[in-house]
Amino acid sequence: MERTALSYLKTWLSSADRKPLVLRGARQVGKTWLIRHFAKECGKQLVELNFEKNPSYVSLFAPNDPKQILLNLSTIHKEKINPDNCLLFLDEIQSEPKLLSKLRWFAEDMPQLPVVAAGSLLEFVLTDHSFSMPVGRISYMHLEPLSFEEFLLANDKRSLVSYLNSYDLNNEVPIAIHEQLTMIFKEYLVVGGLPAAVVNWITEGSLNSVNRVQNDLLATYRDDFAKFKGRIAIERLDEVMMATPKMLGEKFVFSQVNAAVQPNTIKNVLNLLGKARICHSVWSCAANGIPLAAEINEKYFKEIFLDTGLCSVALGLGLNQINAASEITMINNGGIAEQVVGQLLRTVNPPYIEPALYYWIRNEKGSSAEIDYVIQYGSKVIPIEVKAGSTGGLKSLHLFMGMKKSSIAIRINSDIPSETNVKVKDQSGNAVAYQLMSIPFYLVGQIYRLLEQIIKNK
């Protein structure tokens, strides 16, 4: 299957100031496959070392001299390694985190050798390490589950991807194309973007078979919990992981996980799952300006899961139930809609930017309001509402736009795309005017390009 990250890797490879690359992402998002495929596409000899399977390989890196290290590797692989023609891939490097400090010697003494390191639990290493990280001598790349465009490519729907990539807001989407994209998007809700589930769906075409794969994936994450033993009780980790899909779209409340467990324990567990990239926090922020992270309120946050397919299986949702809903926002009280939008928003920035999600909430008696997501676009803060209905049902959005004096907002629903000049009065009777861009779920991946078009046309 095609991953858009491949083009970034090719740019990295040809860069004049290339540094060793650390690939970050949850288990089973396709990191190892991506690097193997990348090496094959670029005609590079792949020298792959998996430190989880072979911990003794760390001894090959005892010297600080890359030439000596390559000599050691050549001895193990029984063939000469030419740094100009090979790609060194250090997989599951979290098992031997001190090797990360060795990357500086490759950056300084052998820059002609492309080096990639990857690991599923790297966040633990990067947050709590006792060795000297090669600051300024490595680059990072973030890999998420397949986006909707990548899901279409995997399903051999290249013409639909071309249509999405070239769609112009001035053109109306034909009903036939809209219905086809909506139908496939509903498949994406159930199958998700984890490569193993997507491949199974393509080859088997059976939701029962996909469900089995997804349950195996959940079991894999549970098996990973054994690595956290000593940090926290394993049963707590499982409780929080399975509680997250049930609280989609809502403020995360510790007591709803297990009222008998101390909030700090649940908080610590959630932190661990975040580092494993199984759960992602959506932080409330003031949304007064950029960067959004400068004004977050850690008391209020929501959580989304790694993948919409795993959410669907955890919630017992099937394609028949999802197809029966007239609006995706009606499914699971809108929770699955917020999940998939958040998941896709994590894929829209270049892979060198660490994904982060934010929302806005106002807790005032008689004037409470909430915006599902807020994003940065240039110097602007753009609110996003995930819901059905007409402009008259957007009270929170009207309030936000009036308070922040913003001019552009986004609504995501199941309708065809549209632009509306909204002129209303907020809850206080003040006049509010702004431009509302409504897009269907299948266009979330194009959100920045469409925003640019609106701003240019203003």
Q: What is the pLDDT of residues 265-311, one digit of tens each?
A: 999 889 989 988 999 999 999 999 999 999 999 999 999 999 999 99
CATH code at 130? 3.40.50.300
- b vs e for 346-381, b when ≥16 Cβ sit within 10 Å of the residue's Cβ? bbbeebeeebbbbbbbeeeeeeebbbbbbbbeeeeb
Tokens read off for 13: 């490879």
Tell me how far apart the alpha carbons of residues 84 and 71 are, in angstroms, rounded to a whole number.
Answer: 15
Considering the domain architecture, whether residues 114 and 234 belong to the same structural domain is answered as no
Q: What is the pLDDT of residues 136-149, one digit of tens each?
A: 789 999 999 999 99
pLDDT at res. 231 = 67
Instruction: Classify residue 60 by its DSSP letter.
Output: G
Considering the domain architecture, whether residues 358 and 256 belong to the same structural domain is answered as yes
- CB 382 within 8 Å of CB 359: no
Q: Considering its fold, how many domains does the chain have in total?
A: 2
Considering the domain architecture, whether residues 112 and 178 belong to the same structural domain is answered as no
- CB 318 within 8 Å of CB 207: yes
Tokens read off for 94: 């979290």
Q: Final residue of a domain: which of 85, 116, 142?
A: 142
pLDDT at res. 194 = 98
Tell me how far apart the alpha carbons of residues 121 and 119 are, in angstroms, rounded to a whole number.
Answer: 6
Tell me how far apart the alpha carbons of residues 411 and 302 are, in angstroms, rounded to a whole number.
Answer: 19
pLDDT at res. 92 = 92
pTM score, whole prediction: 0.93
The neighbour count for residue 59, using CB atoms within 10 Å, is 9
Considering the domain architecture, whether residues 448 and 386 belong to the same structural domain is answered as yes
pLDDT at res. 363 = 85
Considering the domain architecture, whether residues 156 and 26 belong to the same structural domain is answered as no
Average pLDDT, the chain: 91
pLDDT at res. 42 = 95
Residues of the chain short of pLDDT 70, as ranges, are: 125-134, 228-231, 389-392
Considering the domain architecture, whether residues 257 and 404 belong to the same structural domain is answered as yes
pLDDT at res. 33 = 96
Considering the domain architecture, whether residues 138 and 170 belong to the same structural domain is answered as no
Considering the domain architecture, whether residues 70 and 199 belong to the same structural domain is answered as no
Query: What are the phi and psi torsion angles at 184 (to 5°)?
Result: -70, -35
Q: Final residue of a domain: which of 142, 157, 189?
A: 142
Domain that holds residue 187: 149-457
Considering the domain architecture, whether residues 14 and 107 belong to the same structural domain is answered as yes
Q: Final residue of a domain: which of 142, 164, 199?
A: 142
Considering the domain architecture, whether residues 132 and 261 belong to the same structural domain is answered as no
pLDDT at res. 263 = 92
Considering the domain architecture, whether residues 299 and 446 belong to the same structural domain is answered as yes
Tokens read off for 29: 């998002």
Considering the domain architecture, whether residues 183 and 78 belong to the same structural domain is answered as no
Tokens read off for 178: 């809209």
- For CA atoms 411, 179, 196, 218, the dihedral sign is positive
